[in-house]
Structure 1
Amino acid sequence: MAPAYPQLTTYLNEAGTDGYLINADGEDSNQYYLSGFRAMGNFVTLYVNGEVRLLVPDMAYARANTEGDGDSVRRFSEFDYGSKVLEHGPARAGPIVTTEFLAENDIDSVSVPASFPNGAADVLRAHGVNVVTDYDDTVGDIRALKTEVEIEHIRETQRANESAMAVAERMLERAAVESGVLHLDGEVLTSERVRRAIEVTLLEEGCALDECIVASGAEGATAHAVGTGPISAGDPVIVDIFPRNKESQYFGDVTRTFVKGEPDAKVREWYEVTREAYETALETIQPGVTGEAVNEAVCDVFEREGYPTLRTDEATEDGFTSATGHGVGLDVHEKPKLSWGGGELRPGHVVTVEPGLYEQGIGGVRLEDLVVVTETGYENLTDYSRELGVM
């Protein structure tokens, strides 16, 4: 049985709609959060009168009953889905079945997320259902406030994440320098090779990820470049890992910067200033402070030291070229944000703190931890050395 969501009920009352409707597969985080069910194909979740009611394809019916959080579960065949496919085609049959499901629940109007399928919305409206788009992502707001159980899930993922980071660091430590390029066990050490070791470690820890960043040298200055090719001595290497736990579905996120050999004075200065910006962000985080205020405090540090930020030049490609952080949960990027327009932080918000400095053609440094906002400030969910990793 799903918990009641008073915030969602309040939203429905203010919007003047009867229920909240999601039509998506189980990979959609709002869908999974409300339904507790992960399915490959699309299904329907209706939140009404404090209850979650599911409408699923017949093949998913048994699993939805045993694995999902629905207070009730109906299947497509109960609404004569097969004949509707023959009469209207598969693209319209599902939404037509949904209109009958809504009618059964005395629903004349629904709020839907901005991602709701346009074709399904057209069919619902054609059958007299008023469809109102929730552009504020109310379910996303609810998801942003983590329970103790969710925080523990994220903490568990972050522990696995740190194990993977340690593997990457040990590979760089063990590497020898030959003609300015790193070699490990007789072979050139590449970003791809480090990334593969990270992925294997995470699989052994029960986590998975689509990609991670091992970007050295100039690639470290390119936003979200994953990194390719041999790693050179003296270049800063940004390692950014953001896996999802395969059981709980919650993400972790951590970044560290390493240098094999002696970093030049510029890289050391970048890291010292970035570390100060990181500590300033943590000192600013507390309930009632906005994410925008945290970002402003970080910009103050960088600008005082003469580095451009997006606040001073929104088109800059050098300096502090990102936001301070973002929420983490069922998505690796979710609410709240530590950036312009970032709203008030509340206990239970889990956010990254990830300042960095970058210069195109040269490289960059970044330091990222994952913290949870508490009643009195924050708790750092990350337990890994925060020094520039020089080896």
Structure 2
Amino acid sequence: MKLNRLNKILIKMEENDIPQMLVTDPKAIFYLTGKMIHPGERLIALYLNINRNHKLFINELFPVHEDLGVEKVWFDDTKDGVLIISEYIEKGKTIGVDKNWPARFLLHLMELNTENKYVNASFIIDTLRMYKDEEEKRLMRNASHINDMAMEKLQNLLKEGLTEKQMAQRLATIYEELGADGFSFNPIIAYGKNGADPHAQCGLEMVKEGDCVILDIGCIKDNYCSDMTRTVFYKSAPEKAKEVFNIVLEANKRAISMVKPGIRFCDIDNAAREYITEKGYGKYFTHRTGHSIGIETHDMGDVSSVNTDILEPGMIFSVEPGIYLPGEFGVRIEDLVLVTEDGHEILNKYNKELKIIK
């Protein structure tokens, strides 16, 4: 167990009157144990108790033989894992449960232990994961470095006349060649009018001269995610598209320039949104300015107009303003930003200025 993280969680449990907790999200279990286990539909749970009587309930199907610093309680497919868990839970006391634990497990536990009070305790780990330690910062920088290299290789492929879907397939190969562990999310590669959909699906569209091309890509490396968007032009850039591009680029830069401890997330969103609105495209900026990222592409926390939380050192999030004109094109420019002690660090180094692929 990663004791520093565990101790912080136990303190938060006490502060919130949650004496015991079931951690069931594989990514949260990894955060505490350093071991990523993908259980599929099967049950896995890490039981935490402020009296430190911790247990890891795990199916024998998963060969986790190394010492994780917590006692393992094994079961197999013929056993009722929830029943086994219920026998370790302190009766009559509040128990925190992950927000994503399947109802078939949670409802069964509630039927077995009717005298317990059940609360959503995901916020305890999720809020701690917002602050990256030095090792996590290193891993995030490395994932973004791989993503920078992948972006360059991907842009060079535009000359080959591949469809959006074929580009995504090539990207998977690029990541493998660069040593990444796969996609952190399904890539968004959108030509021309397809880019007007912020979450476009890669299709059979072929790139054409004058197309505005959105490349929103990310990989996983050592269980940490990267995410970056660049918008480029193919062979030529129409004047209107260039105008919109420059507005989005300036919005991206203005928002990032705000990042430092003490600033609110909503202030960053406002910096991007107000500029785009001032230029007459406010109604075409249809999403929040960014999201937190780490072990998951979307960690807890976002850069939005309603998030008044204060920035603190160690936080990492995206800044990705966009303008989407239905039936025409879209532009989005995204960087990952780390809050430092006195300012910020941009994790993406790849060029984001206007670029025409010849």
Higher relative contact order (CA 8 A, sep 6+): 2
Would the alpha carbon gap of residues 242 and 98 (structure 1) be closer, same or farther in structure 2, given more than 3 Å must change?
A: same
Amino acid at match of 1:204: E
Taking structure 1 as the reference length, the TM-score comes to 0.83
Report the alpha carbon displacement of residue 362 of structure 1 after superposing the two structures with TM: 0.3
Change (3 A) 1:137 1:37: same
Which of 212, 218, 223 aligns to 1:249? It is 223
Q: Partner letter of residue 160 of structure 1?
A: I
Instruction: Return the match for 2:210 from 214, 229, 234.
Output: 234
Q: Which runs of 5+ in 2 are unaligned?
A: none
- CA apart distance, 1:216: 0.8
**Cα distance between partner residues in 2 of 1:352 and 1:378:** 12
Distance 1:341 1:130 in 2: 34
Aligned twin of 2:235: 261
For 1:225, the equivalent position in structure 2 comes to 200
Letter in 2 for 1:253: D
C-alpha distance in 1 between matches for 2:34 and 2:51: 15
Unaligned runs of 5+ in 1: 86-92, 176-183, 310-318
1:199: how far off?
1.1
Q: Name whichever of 129-138 and 370-379 sits farther off.
A: 129-138
**AA at the equivalent of 1:44:** A
Shift of 1:367: 1.0
Q: 1:55 is matched with which residue?
A: 57
The Cα offsets for residues 29-65 of structure 1, whole Å up to 9 and x where unpaired, read as 22322333322322110122385531212333x51x4
1:336-351 matches, cutoff 5 A: 336-342=301-307, 343-351=309-317
Shift in CA distance, 107/153, structure 1 to aligned 2, threshold 3 Å: farther
| Aligned equivalent of 1:273 | 247
State the match for 1:307 in structure 2: 281
Classify 1:288/1:236 alpha carbon distance in 2 versus 1 (closer, same or farther; 3 Å). Answer: same
Q: Distance in 1 between matches of 2:224 and 2:295?
A: 5
Q: Partners of 1:143 and 1:255 in 2: how far apart?
A: 24
Deviations 1:188-207 (A, max 9, x none): 43212222221101012222
SS of 2:301's partner is strand
> Is the 8 Å Cα contact of residues 216 and 227 (structure 1) preserved in structure 2?
no
For 2:75, the aligned partner's letter is: F
Quote the residue 2:339 is aligned against.
373
SS for the counterpart of 1:334 is coil
Decide whether aligned partners of structure 1 residues 145 and 327 sit closer, same or farther in structure 2, where only a CA change above 3 A counts.
same
**Alpha-carbon displacement from aligned partner over 1:237-288 (angstroms, at most 9, x marks no partner):** 000101112xx11000111111112211111111111111111111111112
Which of 107, 121, 127 matches 2:106? 121
Counterparts in 2 of 1:18 and 1:107: CA distance versus 1, 3 Å: farther
2:86 aligns to what SS in structure 1?
helix
Q: Does the residue aligned with 1:163 lie in a helix, a strand or coil?
A: helix
2:96–2:121 contact (8 Å) kept in structure 1: no
Corresponding position of 2:72: 73
Q: How does 1:124-163 map to 2 (within 5 A)?
A: 124-125=109-110, 126-128=112-114, 130-134=116-120, 137-163=123-149
The one-letter amino acid of 1:147's match is D
Q: Is the 8 A contact 1:298 1:324 kept in 2?
A: yes
- CA apart distance, 1:71: 2.6
Residues 341 and 35 (structure 1), Cα distance of their counterparts in 2 relative to 1, 3 Å cut: farther
Alignment match, 1:179:
none
8 Å contact 2:21–2:121 — kept in the other structure?
Answer: no
Q: Which runs of 4+ in 1 moved over 4 A?
A: none
Selected match of 2:84 from 94, 97, 103: 97
Report % sequence identity. Answer: 26
Give the secondary structure class of the aligned counterpart of 2:198.
coil
Q: Which amino acid aligns with 2:268?
A: V
Q: Compare CA radii of gyration and give the structure with the larger one.
A: 1
State the alpha-carbon separation in 1 of the partners of residues 294 and 287 from structure 2: 20
Classify the secondary structure of the residue corresponding to 1:59: coil
1:63-122 per-residue CA deviation (whole Å, 9 max, x = no partner) reads: 1x416x343222237xxx95xx4xxxxxxx21110011335xx88431112222333333
Cα separation, 2, equivalents of 1:134 and 1:256: 37
Residue correspondences, number: 347
| Contact 1:9 1:50 (8 Å CA) reproduced | no
Alpha-carbon separation, structure 2, partners of 1:160 and 1:50: 42
Q: Is the 8 A contact 2:13 2:124 kept in 1?
A: no
Q: TM-score, normalised by structure 2?
A: 0.90
Alpha-carbon shift at residue 211 of structure 1 (Å): 2.1
Residues 272, 289 of structure 2: 8 Å contact kept: yes
- CA RMSD in angstroms, aligned pairs only: 2.2
Partner of 2:257: 283
Using the alignment, how far apart are the partners of 1:292 and 1:241 within structure 2?
25
Give the Å deviation of 1:137. 2.0
Q: One-letter code of the match for 2:29?
A: Q
